[in-house]
Structure 1
Amino acid sequence: MSDVSRETPLAPESARGAFPSDRWPLIERFVELLATDGVVRGLIGPREAPRLWERHVLNCAAVAEAVPSGATVADLGSGAGLPGLVLAIARPDLSVTVVEPLLRRTTFLDEVVADVGLDNVVVRRGRAEELHGSERFDVVTARALAPLGRLLGWGLPLVAPGGALLAMKGSSAADEIAAAEKTLRAWRCGAPEILTVTAGDGVSTATLVRVAPTSGRR
């Protein structure tokens, strides 16, 4: 990795529009930790560090536009905290639980939460299935975790009545919905929606598949 710079990438000027002004120091510090400790610990690929803002942080910040005010959020397979910690920084009104099974990742997440000072985040080490039957959330998120069909089984049991699963899927969204057709029917979900949301910077976007369980789900 000696040929890859570990310097913290500079934020695009427009990025400030995606975060409340009083939260700007928090997101800057998070990006610094991602670009340094996150790379050293293998949570972020070294070649991803220079494009953390554009490819990762602002992409995740766009998800905040689809989350209701005051919601409880579970971010499954949070990894380095994407999108969970970005949502918690961008939206202090949210209560965010980041769920991650690997110890080295939850250790990093705990350290970031303490360093940045995020009092609206809980770090849970474990798999989504371990929360089934004990916890529900208004919104369940996931980024690059699994195909939609598999993600439904992990995430839908955690969605509270009236809530939704928001899966970050990009250009594969329509194909994944088609591939998950039988699973969607089995879960008696409403018709999935493909949402394109734009971050507060007015530039960065994310493509989401929104799945809302019906009251008659299995």
Structure 2
Amino acid sequence: MLKKSEKALSETSSIDCEVHVSTRGRKPKQQSNDETITKHRRSVGMSEKPKENDDLALQLNKFYNNLMRKRTKARNNNELPIEHEEKQCIGPECTNSVRQGSKYCSERCGLALAQIRLKTILPQRFNDFFAKVPSKQIEDNKKLDNVEGQITLIHQKLKKFGEWKDNVENFLEAIKNAQPNAERPKSGDDNFVVGCPVCGGEFPMRE
């Protein structure tokens, strides 16, 4: 009996060991499968994004090419050569055709027309300009008239002062050379005393 039980235990232990070993061997296989799945998904996602970017880049490139094609077409249409139309020169009494890019057949016609315009337009412009006096000039003329009036008044006053000066000088010369005709008679008022309003002193009237 003991031998049978030991045999059974040894068999069960060997089974458990095999199961344990087998389970240990399977786990890394499952992990490796999961890792491979995730790696595959990532690679698929990364491969899908460049495809989307490539499609967008192609669309933008097509749009840009169409736009540039339209612009070049419009530019070429605008730059089409226009035939030169023959026009008559606008110079005085000239029947020749004009030069390309000009209104005259030669410089002589242009100068002749410019002289005629100056002779006809400038006199009228001068008359219009000088017909109306500017307001600033009117104000300056008024100020000048006022100053001239003040100058005349000053000259008149100086003339009067000169006349007064001559009269005073003549009067002083006459007093210096004058001689008394007779002595003044003495009176009782000679001793009259007068007070000075400035210093308050008293002095006789005779002095």
TM range (shorter): under 0.3
TM-score scaled to structure 2, two decimals? 0.13
More helix by share: 2
More strand by share: 1
**Greater relative contact order structure (CA < 8 Å, 6+ sep):** 1
**Greater Rg by CA:** 2
